[in-house]
Amino acid sequence: MTQDSIIIDLDDTITIDNSSDNYNNKKLNDLVHKAIINARMSGLKIKIFSARNMRTYEGDLEKIEKYTRPLAENWLATNNVEYDEFRLGKPWAGKNGFYVDDKNMHIDEFIFKFCGPFYNKKISVVTSLFNEQENIKKMHQHNKKAERLLEITEYIYINNGSTDSTLEILNEIKKYDEKIKVITNKENLGYGGGMKEGIYNSSGEIIITNHADMQFDLYQFIMTNYEKIMEYNELHAILPIRLNRKFLESLNSSILRLIVSMFSLKKIGDFNGQPKFLNKRFLPSSEKLPNDFCLDLALYNLVVNEAIALPIIQNDRNAGSSSWSGSLIKRLQIFIRYISYSINRK
């Protein structure tokens, strides 16, 4: 079996951009170097592929091997950069050109994946689905982007009593991605019941919950908050703060949080946003968590003291509707249930 590799550029990637006009005096990018070390420790081969001097020697590989290789290898050795293979002769894209590749990873993505607070953490992405046939394929495509940043080992998708083609589509995409794990509930166990099936059947150290309607983009959430997240050596939980919401939805949530705060005797922040990052060791047994929409409040209360709260842009739903979009009676029922849960959990 062929070993997976990181194929990485030398100049302005392992070296710092514009740190010197002289190749020998280029400075080492310490974060990229640390990421290389961690990537090798995780079992990946490091292959350096460089376009150095391709313009200077007009693509003459004999001259590049003769004059460029010794200097580059000496710089790598001097800076203690360990690698498995070093190739020269990469085509030069030009000052304003680009390299386009479906396996491309940006420098920031590489650093986050192998130096960020979730490095070396196995991660499970959990989503409960009820009649989400219109969202599934696009949802999974969005989730897959986050593999550039996280060691996602499984996607646990729960068919929570759907009556449409949700199960058929889940089984279809499962054929093309071995990381997908499908759990089927013959009956709808409620939002909380469905999510719990995924959470407690997951193997990841970190659980990421999300919805299927693509209101919340996991990859974009991380990249938007990149610098803030990178301040931490380790994170146990992240709770999102939703922005860009419709006025009525935002008003309903604000009133609800105020009421829940009064009955909880503490300030409650935004608890319904996604995605949530949860360290599994903070979670109690499944029986102690509610089976309905109060699960989000329960998870919030469990991790809020260990979490950082970060903003996320809420997008329009790809398909489906909000529980808030029902009648006034429906909204009152939701309020009453949250209040009842807040009182009973004290």
Give the model confidence (pLDDT) of 219-272 as tens digits. 999 999 999 999 999 999 999 999 999 888 898 899 999 999 998 889 999 999
State whether 186 and 249 are in the same domain.
yes
pLDDT of residue 1: 61
Mean pLDDT value across residues 151-171:
97
State whether 174 and 296 are in the same domain.
yes
Q: CA gyration radius for the chain?
A: 24
pLDDT of residue 286: 87
Domain boundary among 114, 132, 156: 114
DSSP letters, 139-178, are HHHHHHHGGGTS-EEEEEEEEES-SSSHHHHHHHHHTT-T
pLDDT band for position 326 (50/70/90)? low
pLDDT band for position 188 (50/70/90)? very high
Mean pLDDT value across residues 124-141:
96
pLDDT band for position 18 (50/70/90)? confident
Best-predicted range by mean pLDDT (1-5, 113-117, 318-322): 113-117
Name the residue range of residue 213's domain.
Answer: 120-344
Q: Which residue from 341, 339, 326, 321 is spatially nearest to 256, judged by alpha carbons?
A: 339
pLDDT of residue 106: 95
Task: Quote the mean pLDDT of the chain.
Answer: 93
Secondary structure E strands in 18-133: 45-50, 85-88, 123-129
State whether 128 and 273 are in the same domain.
yes
State whether 336 and 241 are in the same domain.
yes
Count: domains in the chain? 2
Instruction: Read off φ and ψ for residue 160, nearest 5 degrees.
Output: -95, 70
Of 15-29, 45-59, 321-335, the poorest mean pLDDT is in 321-335
pLDDT of residue 138: 95
Query: Which tokens belong to 160?
Result: 């929570």
| Beta bridge pairs of residue 279 | 206
State whether 101 and 127 are in the same domain.
no
State whether 133 and 23 are in the same domain.
no
pLDDT of residue 321: 66
pLDDT of residue 325: 60
State whether 185 and 99 are in the same domain.
no
State whether 182 and 259 are in the same domain.
yes
Cα distance between residue 226 and residue 109, in whole Å? 9
State whether 176 and 74 are in the same domain.
no
Is the pLDDT confidence value at 168 over 70? yes
Is the pLDDT confidence value at 103 over 70? yes
Q: How far is CA 162 from CA 76, 183, 188, 330, in A?
A: 56, 12, 7, 21
DSSP character at residue 111: H
State whether 74 and 195 are in the same domain.
no
Mean pLDDT value across residues 180-204:
96
State whether 272 and 337 are in the same domain.
yes
CATH number, domain of 34, equals 3.40.50.1000
Is the pLDDT confidence value at 29 over 70? yes
pLDDT of residue 333: 85
For 205-214, the pLDDT digits (tens) are 999 999 999 9
Q: Which residue from 192, 202, 82 is spatially nearest to 153, judged by alpha carbons?
A: 202
CATH number, domain of 166, equals 3.90.550.10
Taking CA 280 as the corner, what is the angle to CA 275 and CA 281, rounded to the nearest 5 degrees? 145
State whether 282 and 204 are in the same domain.
yes
Domain boundary among 114, 136, 162: 114
Domain boundary among 86, 114, 142: 114
pTM of the complete model: 0.91
Mean pLDDT value across residues 194-200:
96
